[in-house]
Amino acid sequence: MSIRIAIAQCAPALGAVKRNLDMHDKWIARAKAAGARLVIFPELSLTGYYLKDLAADVACAADDPQLARIAEASRDIDISAGFVERSADAKLHIAQGHWSGGKLVHVHRKVYLPTYGIFDDGRYFGPGDRFETYQWAGGTTGVAICEDLWHVSTPYLYAAAGATIVLAPSASPGRGVAEGGDLGTAESCRLMDRFYASYLTVYIVYVNRVGHEDGIAFWGGSEIVAPDGTVAARAPEFDEDLLIGEIDPELVARERARNPLLRDEREDIVLRNIAGRLGLPFDRRD
Amino acid sequence: MTSTLARTGVVRPDPKDPSPLRIDEALVRKMLILFIRDETVKARLRRAVVGVSGGVDSAVTVALAAEALGPENVLALFTPYRTSSPESRDHAQQLSRKFGFTLEEVPITEQVDAYFRARKEKVDKVRIGNKMARERKSIEYDRSWPDGIVLGTSNKTELLLGYGTQFGDMACGINPVGDLYKTQLRELALSIGIPEAIVRKPPTAELWEGQTDEGELGFTYADADLILYHMVDRRLRPAELVEHGFDAQLVARIRELVRRNHYKRVMPLIAKLSLRTVGHDFLYPRDWEAD
Boundaries of domain holding A142: 3-278
Question: If you write DSSP's letter for every residue of B96-132 in order, what string do you get?
Answer: HHHH--EEEE---HHHHHHHHHT--SPPPHHHHHHHH
Chain B residue nearest residue A46, CA to CA: B289
pLDDT (tens digit per residue) in B51-78: 999 999 999 999 999 999 999 999 999 9
CATH number at residue A61: 3.60.110.10
The count of CB pairs under 8 A between chains A and B is 82
Q: Which are the contacts of A90, defined by CB distance < 8 A and separation ≥ 6?
A: none
Determine the CATH number of domain B16-265.
3.40.50.620
Q: Considering A10, A85, A91, A146, which one is annotated as catalytic? A: A146
Interatomic CA distance for residues B256 and B118, integer angstroms: 36
- Chain A contact present for B129, CB below 8 A: no
Q: Which residues of chain B have pLDDT under 50?
A: 1-3, 5-6
Q: Is residue A284 part of a domain?
A: no
Q: Is residue A121 part of a domain?
A: yes
Interatomic CA distance for residues A116 and B200, integer angstroms: 39
Q: Which are the contacts of A42, defined by CB distance < 8 A and separation ≥ 6?
A: A8, A9, A10, A12, A82, A169, A170, A171, A207, A208, A209, A218, A222
Q: pLDDT value at position B130? A: 96
Among B69, B17, B279, smallest CA distance to B174 is for B69
Domain residue spans of chain B? 16-265
pLDDT (tens digit per residue) in A125-182: 999 999 999 999 999 999 999 999 999 999 999 999 999 999 999 999 999 999 887 8
pLDDT (tens digit per residue) in A76-126: 999 999 999 999 999 999 999 999 999 999 999 999 999 999 999 999 999
Nearest Cβ partner for B291 among A13, A54, A181: A13
Nearest Cβ partner for A13 among B174, B284, B289: B289
Q: Is residue A285 part of a domain?
A: no
Q: Which residues on chain B are in Cβ contact (under 8 Å) with A215?
A: 35, 39, 174
Q: pLDDT value at position B205? A: 87
Average pLDDT, chain A: 96
Q: Is residue A283 part of a domain?
A: no
DSSP B46: -
| pLDDT at A285 > cutoff 90 | no
pLDDT (tens digit per residue) in A209-256: 999 999 999 999 999 999 999 999 999 999 999 999 999 999 999 999
Q: What is the CA radius of gyration of chain B?
A: 20
Per the structure, how many domains does chain A have?
1
Q: Is residue A114 part of a domain?
A: yes
Interatomic CA distance for residues B254 and A3, integer angstroms: 58
